[in-house]
Amino acid sequence: MSPRLDASHTHPATSTSPPEHLNPIEQDDVLAGLPEIPPYDEVGPVDARALSKTLFARLASLEEGTHEYSYVRNTLVELNLALVKFAASRFRSRSEPMEDIIQVGTIGLIKAIDRFELSRGVEFPTFAMPTIVGEIKRFFRDTSWSVRVPRRLQELRLDLAKAGDELAQKLDRAPTVTELAERLGISNDEVVEGMAASNAYTASSLDAQPEEDDSEGALADRIGYEDHGLEGIEYVESLKPLIAELPSRDRTILSLRFVAGMTQSEIGDELGISQMHVSRLLSRTLVRLRKGLTVEE
Q: Which of 75, 74, 124, 128 is nearest to 105 (CA)?
A: 128
Q: What is the pLDDT of residue 108?
A: 92
**Residue 201 main-chain phi, psi, to 5 deg:** -70, -40
pLDDT higher for 249 or 50? 249
Question: What DSSP character marks residue 68?
Answer: H
* Structural domain spans, the chain: 3-143, 146-202, 228-294
Alpha helices in the chain (DSSP H): 24-31, 45-61, 67-79, 81-89, 98-115, 124-143, 151-171, 177-184, 188-198, 219-222, 233-244, 248-258, 264-271, 275-294
Domain 146-202 coded CATH 1.10.10.10: yes
Report pLDDT digits (tens) over 121-150: 888 998 999 999 988 888 876 665 555 667
So what's the pLDDT on residue 205?
57
pTM comes to 0.42
- The answer to whether residues 151 and 161 touch, using CB atoms and an 8 Å cutoff, is no
Given the candidates 3.40.630.30, 1.10.10.10, 3.60.20.10, 1.10.3720.10, the CATH classification of the domain at 228-294 is: 1.10.10.10
C-alpha distances (whole Å) from 45 to each of 41, 68, 185, 236 are 11, 25, 53, 69
3-143 classified as CATH 1.10.1740.10: yes
Confidence of residue 62 (pLDDT cuts 50, 70, 90): confident
pLDDT of 279 strictly over 50 = yes
Environment class of residue 233 by beta-carbon count within 10 Å: exposed (0-12), middle (13-18) or buried (19+)?
Answer: exposed
How confident is the model at residue 143, as a pLDDT?
A: 61
pLDDT in tens, 8-39: 333 433 333 344 444 444 554 555 555 555 56
pLDDT tens digits for 155-197? 787 788 888 888 888 888 888 989 999 989 999 888 888 887 6
pLDDT score for 230: 56
Task: Place 297 in a pLDDT band, splitting at 50, 70 and 90.
Answer: very low
Work out the mean pLDDT of the chain and round it to a whole number. Answer: 76
Taking only the tens place, the pLDDT of each residue in 197-247 is 666 555 555 565 555 545 555 555 655 556 555 556 666 677 788 888 889
Domains 3-143 and 228-294 share a fold: no
